Chain A
Amino acid sequence: MNALEPGYLWVMRAHAALGTLIALFPAAIGGIIAHDEAGLPYLTFVVPVLLVSVFTILLRPARLHRAWGYRMDPRDLHIARGVWTRVQTVVPLRRVQHIDIAQGPIERAFGVCRLVLHTAGTMHSRVVLPGLGRATAEDMRDEIRSHIREGAD
């Protein structure tokens, strides 16, 4: 199994950091209210949020990143993911309907993008493989595209 780009680790951290920032606002306001009303310290809510963020920013992304893996066989794409619930997905390349390469602003900053395979299935109509370098993703797309043609002949 190939690991994802290290950049994706930072994408996940950036997302988590954004979440923390958003959570800090109400925590700070709540702290001020708690101070005025009940005489609690200003940081009553901020400290727990920061403690949780140690987990969501530092620990969790690393575990998630380690859990991700993919392997391109001649005919199938294998994807593994999940820390608590492990999921292994096999997508036969002939089954792919169309392919997206998607990139958000944070992903662009860290030089990674997502490969999204669309199949006709219902549960896995979208199989997402994040954290690929642009060149890798484009190579994979070209490879898969050649299989689509083969499958339709």
Chain B
Amino acid sequence: MNAATLADRRVHFATVPLRFVKSAPSTLLGIPAAFAFISEYGLEWILAFAAGVALLTMFGNWLVWRRFKYGIGAREIVIESGLLNRNRRSIPFDRIQDVDIERGPLQRLFGLAKVRIETGGAAKDEGVLDSVTLAEAHRLRAALRGGRSEALAQAEVAEPEVESRTLFAMALPRVLLSGLFSFSLIYLAGLFGLLQTFRAWLPFDINDPARWLGLIDDRAVQGYFSPAAIAAVLVLALLVGVVAGAVRTLARDYDFRLTLEDGSRFRRERGLFTRTEIVIAKARVQLGLVKTGPLRTRLDAFDLRFQTLSTGKGSEGGHQSVAPFATDAELRAILDAEGRLRLPDPDRLMMVSKRHVLRVALREVLLPLPFILGAAILFPPALLLLGALPLLVGGALLQRHFHRYALSGGLLFVQRGFWRRKLWIVPVARSQAVELTRTFIQRRLGLANLLVDTAGASMLTNPRIHDLRLEAAEQLSAAIVDQLSGRKSGTDR
């Protein structure tokens, strides 16, 4: 199909007045009101002005309508839009996940419908036809759905009766234990905020926590910031943090249950007050993420999440916890059930370049140095901060020790972090793009960052590999791209 699909249709003309009516309350009513305030013209002038604006808006809507065209080809839908910035979008049928038809009250009045075309892409409005006649909407849906490949359509049909097997469940003691690790000080801040608000009714002074605890009765003897008072505050904060974390975890993860249904999808149930239940189709799993830390590793406890692809409505995209506090064996069993994911062989994980330490040190030592020295001129004790710098360098060394990666058997493993250790397990076939980045300093040091982009990934935590040697990065990138494009078959997205 080399002949370009012709974009020869426009949305229904009634869209022009419809859009006008929709936008009228915000634009039209505001103008006379604003005008009346700032001018001394009479009502007739204001009305005339409003009429002028209305006409202009109408004309604008008409222009937008005239310049918006769509067309359906043999295997794609084409949408052209834009007044000055012309845009021509082609959406192949094979990529269309769903076609929604929406009808608001106004649209129903005119017998119209808004057609929303969803693909797996991350953007929201990927293809919106606002609005066409209902008949055209149904015709479009039929045409677009008909063009979609069979495998996808089948995956969405749920069978009524299925065999299911429990993969992972947490009893109460384990939920509580896991709660100890979700220590959080956010609730402490909230608590203090509340106390601050209601302090007039409190029987104690919240700015005086030592007395509050009854640890120090004689304020005059102890001095204002006595070590005991500070220790008391810290202990209290710690306690509140631990209790808050445990309560939150209990409410969320009570009676946590993960089952495998029909061998093709996971079902997760959890919660004390609100019981939630979600289904994750295996085909939707984009990658696995294992979180742990030095203490949890000792306790043989790992937090496993699946990153899933979201599709517009049932917004269950992002990271889904599938086993918040699992042992190594349970972890392996779940990954086994998933089929493609597995844990890496620790011996094959490689460290990034030694110069990673140098770069982190450059960033964390050279940057604060001038500030500390500058501050020291005004306030000499600031020099004590210099003592913190070796700690930062030590931290950098530790980070490098735990930052490892491996590419083996179609999976890319990336491990990062010491205290909050994360291990990404990325099926190469699932990755969307590969990016190699070199900042100015990295180019001087011969280093590069490598990022494999996946669907549904979070902006904050992603399997980026920092400071690989350039050659290593290029080899790895080439190997991933080879595996990614080399395979011919693949219904997976």
Digitize B399-436: 1 where CB-to-A-CB distance is under 8 Å, 0 elsewhere.
Answer: 00000000000000000000000000000000111111
| Pairwise interchain contact A101-B453, C-beta atoms closer than 8 A | no
Instruction: Assign chain A's interface to a size class.
Output: 35 or more
Digitize B78-99: 1 where CB-to-A-CB distance is under 8 Å, 0 elsewhere.
Answer: 0000101111111110110000
Checking A75, A98, A103, A151 against B91 with a beta-carbon cut-off of 8 angstroms, the contacting residue is A98
| Pairwise interchain contact B457-A86, C-beta atoms closer than 8 A | no
Residue of B whose beta carbon sits closest to that of A124: B433
| Pairwise interchain contact A145-B90, C-beta atoms closer than 8 A | yes
Residue of A whose beta carbon sits closest to that of B126: A98
Q: Mostly helix, strand, loop or mixed at chain B's interface?
A: mixed
Checking B122, B149, B485 against A121 with a beta-carbon cut-off of 8 angstroms, the contacting residue is B122
Checking A85, A100, A120, A152 against B455 with a beta-carbon cut-off of 8 angstroms, the contacting residue is A120
- Tell me if A141 is interfacial: C-beta within 8 Å of chain B: yes
| Pairwise interchain contact A118-B126, C-beta atoms closer than 8 A | yes
| Pairwise interchain contact A120-B2, C-beta atoms closer than 8 A | no
- Tell me if B295 is interfacial: C-beta within 8 Å of chain A: no
A113 to chain B, nearest CB (A): 8
Residue of B whose beta carbon sits closest to that of A108: B86
| Pairwise interchain contact B89-A124, C-beta atoms closer than 8 A | no
- Tell me if B233 is interfacial: C-beta within 8 Å of chain A: no
| Pairwise interchain contact B123-A126, C-beta atoms closer than 8 A | yes
Residue of B whose beta carbon sits closest to that of A84: B440
Residue of A whose beta carbon sits closest to that of B123: A125
Measured CA separation A123–B435 after assembly (Å): 10
| Pairwise interchain contact A122-B121, C-beta atoms closer than 8 A | no
Q: Which of A120-153 contact B (CB under 8 A)?
A: 120-127, 138, 141-142, 145, 148-153
Measured CA separation A62–B69 after assembly (Å): 37
A interface residues, Cβ below 8 angstroms from B:
75-76, 84-95, 97-105, 108, 118-127, 138, 141-142, 145, 148-153
Question: Can you report 30 residue pairs joining A to B where beta carbons are below 8 Å apart?
Answer: A84-B439, A85-B440, A87-B435, A87-B438, A89-B433, A90-B435, A95-B431, A95-B432, A95-B433, A95-B493, A97-B120, A97-B121, A100-B89, A100-B90, A102-B87, A102-B88, A103-B85, A105-B84, A119-B453, A120-B432, A121-B453, A122-B454, A122-B455, A123-B453, A142-B2, A145-B76, A149-B92, A151-B94, A151-B490, A152-B491
